[in-house]
C-alpha cells in the first residue's frame, strides 16, 4: 500500500511522456537554428529552452560539446526541458530530449562514452531521462541502460559509514554535488523497479552528509566531507572542506526536493528529509541578498572578489518554489523564490538581438583536490572562471521558471 501514491504519480507522468515520445514526429534536425523564433511574450522557461535549442541544434551540443558524450550537464538541462514539456507540450521539446538519449544509448543497452569502472557519480544524472523513454517505448535497450547505471550504484565505493564516494579518484569523500547526481535517480529506480526497498539507503546518503557537513553556527553545509580526514583541504577534526559554495548547496537542496518525489508520506524517512530541507532552506534564507540573489561564497557577501552568482541562485529559487508547491516548506519560500527569480531577470539576464536570453555571472566549474589542486579556499572559489549560459545555471533557471509558472 505504501507505494500506491508514488506509482500513481509515475503512471500519470508516464502517460504524458508516452504521448510525447510516440506521437511526436519532429526530429532534432527540424529544430534547427533558423527555424526557431523566440517571441518576447513567451514565458522565461520557454525563452531559455528555445535559446538553448537555437544555439545548440543537436541536444548533445549543450555546453558547446563538439561530439556526443554522456554527461551530467546534459542530463540536468534536458531533465529541465522534460519538466517544462509537462506544462507546455511543445513536440520540439520532447524530440530534443529524446534525441540525446538515442544518440548515446546503443541497441545492446551500453552507453557511448560512459565508463562504469570510473565510478563517477556525476554520470548517473542523465539516466533520469531513461525512465520516461523506456515507459513510452518499452524498448529493452533503455531498460538495459537503466540497469547499467543501477549496477554502478550497486558497486559505487563507499565510505566506512556507507556514503557514496563522489568518484573512484576521490576516495572516502562525499560532496554535496553527489547527492543530486545520485539520489533522485536511485530513488526513482528503487520505487519503479524494486518496490522501494532501497529508499532507506537513499535516505542514508542525506543523513551522512547532513550529520558530517553541516556547520552548527550557520546551518549551512560545507562543499565536501572527507571521512578519512587525510585530504589537505579537509579539516583535521571533522573532515569538512573550508567554505560554503552556493552551487554545492544548490545541488543539495535540489537533491532533496527531487528525491522526495519518490518517498511516500508514510515512509519512515520522509519526514527526516523534509526536516533537512527546512533546515538548509532556513539557513540559506538568511544569506539572500537584497537583490534576491546569493553570492558565490554563500556567507561572505560583500567580501572582495565575491559576486552574485547565477547557478546557486537559480537552484535555490527552484528548491524553494518546488518545496513550497509540494508542501514541504512554508508558503513564504514561494515568495523568496519569486524574489530570487526577479533578481535573476533584473540583474543577470541579457536579452539578445534574436530574442534569445543570456544568463550571466555563472561559475563554470569548481571542485576539491584533483590536479591542478583545488584547495577549497575563498580565493579559489571567487577566482574560478565564469561562463554565460552555463548549463549548471540554465537548467535550474528553467526548473525554477516552471515551478513559478514564469
Residue at grid coordinates 516548506: 329
Any alpha helices (H) in 29-126, and if so which ranges?
44-55, 72-87, 91-104
| HEC sequence for 187-203 | HHHHHHHCCCCCHHHHH
Query: Can the peptide bond before residue 372 be classed as cis, meaning omega within 30 degrees of 0?
Result: yes
Cell of 308: 552574485
Cell of 292: 534576491
CA torsion 104-184-86-365 (nearest 10°) is -60
Pairing of strands 224-226, 349-351: unpaired
Rounded to the nearest 5 degrees, what angle is found at the Cα of 351, between the Cα atoms of 363 and 364? 10
- Exposure string (b/e) for 208-218, b if CB count within 10 Å is 16 or more? bbbebbbeeee
What are phi and psi for residue 323, nearest 5 degrees?
-60, -40
Kindly list the distances between the CA atom of residue 381 and the CA atoms of 179, 187, 189, 364, 377, in Å, as whole numbers in the listed order. 20, 31, 34, 11, 7
Q: What are the DSSP calls for 72-85, one per residue?
A: HHHHHHHHHHHHHH
What are phi and psi for residue 172, nearest 5 degrees?
65, 15
Q: Which residues pair with 369 in a beta bridge?
A: 374
Is residue 177 part of the annotated active site? The answer reads yes
Q: Decide: 31 and 92 in contact? Cβ < 8 Å.
A: yes
Cell of 1: 500500500
User: Of 71, 90, 177, 226, which is the active-site residue?
Assistant: 177
Closest by Cα among 378, 349, 354, 351 to 366 = 378
Could you give the residue numbers annotated as active site? 177
Amino acid at each position: 500500500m505504501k507505494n500506491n501514491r508514488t506509482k500513481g504519480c509515475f503512471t500519470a507522468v508516464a502517460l504524458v511522456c508516452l504521448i510525447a515520445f510516440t506521437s511526436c514526429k519532429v526530429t532534432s534536425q527540424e529544430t534547427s537554428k533558423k527555424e526557431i523564433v523566440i517571441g518576447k511574450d513567451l514565458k522565461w522557461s520557454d525563452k531559455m529552452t528555445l535559446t538553448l535549442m537555437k544555439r545548440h541544434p543537436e541536444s548533445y551540443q549543450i555546453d558547446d560539446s563538439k561530439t556526443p558524450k554522456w554527461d551530467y550537464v546534459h542530463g540536468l538541462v534536458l531533465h529541465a526541458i522534460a519538466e517544462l514539456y509537462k506544462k507546455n507540450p511543445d513536440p520540439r521539446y520532447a524530440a530534443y530530449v529524446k534525441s540525446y538519449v538515442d544518440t548515446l544509448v546503443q541497441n545492446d543497452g551500453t552507453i557511448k562514452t560512459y565508463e562504469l569502472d570510473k565510478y563517477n557519480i556525476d554520470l548517473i544524472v542523465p539516466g533520469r531521462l531513461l525512465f520516461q523513454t523506456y515507459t513510452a517505448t518499452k524498448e529493452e535497450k533503455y531498460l538495459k541502460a537503466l540497469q547499467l547505471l543501477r549496477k554502478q550504484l550497486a558497486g559505487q565505493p563507499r565510505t566506512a559509514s556507507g556514503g557514496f564516494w563522489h568518484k573512484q579518484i576521490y576516495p572516502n569523500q562525499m560532496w554535496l554535488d553527489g547527492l543530486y547526481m545520485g539520489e533522485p535517480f536511485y530513488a526513482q529506480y528503487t520505487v519503479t523497479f524494486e518496490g522501494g526497498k532501497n529508499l532507506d539507503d537513499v535516505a542514508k546518503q542525506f543523513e551522512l552528509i547532513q550529520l558530517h557537513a553541516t556547520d552548527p553556527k550557520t546551518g549551512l553545509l560545507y562543499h565536501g566531507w572527507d571521512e578519512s580526514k587525510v585530504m589537505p583541504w579537509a579539516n583535521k577534526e571533522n573532515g569538512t572542506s573550508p567554505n560554503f559554495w552556493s552551487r554545492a548547496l544548490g545541488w543539495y537542496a535540489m537533491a532533496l526536493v527531487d528525491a522526495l518525489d519518490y518517498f511516500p508520506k508514510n515512509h519512515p524517512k520522509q519526514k527526516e528529509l523534509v526536516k533537512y530541507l527546512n533546515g538548509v532552506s532556513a539557513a540559506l534564507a538568511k544569506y539572500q541578498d537584497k537583490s534576491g540573489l546569493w553570492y558565490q561564497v554563500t556567507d561572505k557577501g560583500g567580501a572582495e572578489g565575491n559576486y552574485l552568482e547565477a547557478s546557486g541562485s537559480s537552484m535555490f529559487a527552484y528548491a524553494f518554489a518546488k518545496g513550497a508547491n509540494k508542501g514541504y516548506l512554508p508558503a513564504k519560500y514561494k515568495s523568496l523564490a519569486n524574489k530570487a527569480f526577479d533578481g535573476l531577470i533584473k540583474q543577470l539576464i541579457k536579452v539578445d538581438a534574436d530574442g534569445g536570453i543570456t544568463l550571466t555571472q555563472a561559475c563554470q566549474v569548481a571542485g576539491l583536490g584533483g590536479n591542478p589542486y583545488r584547495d577549497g579556499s575563498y580565493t579559489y572559489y571567487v577566482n574560478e572562471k565564469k561562463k554565460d549560459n552555463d548549463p549548471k545555471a540554465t537548467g535550474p533557471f528553467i526548473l525554477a521558471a516552471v515551478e513559478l509558472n514564469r
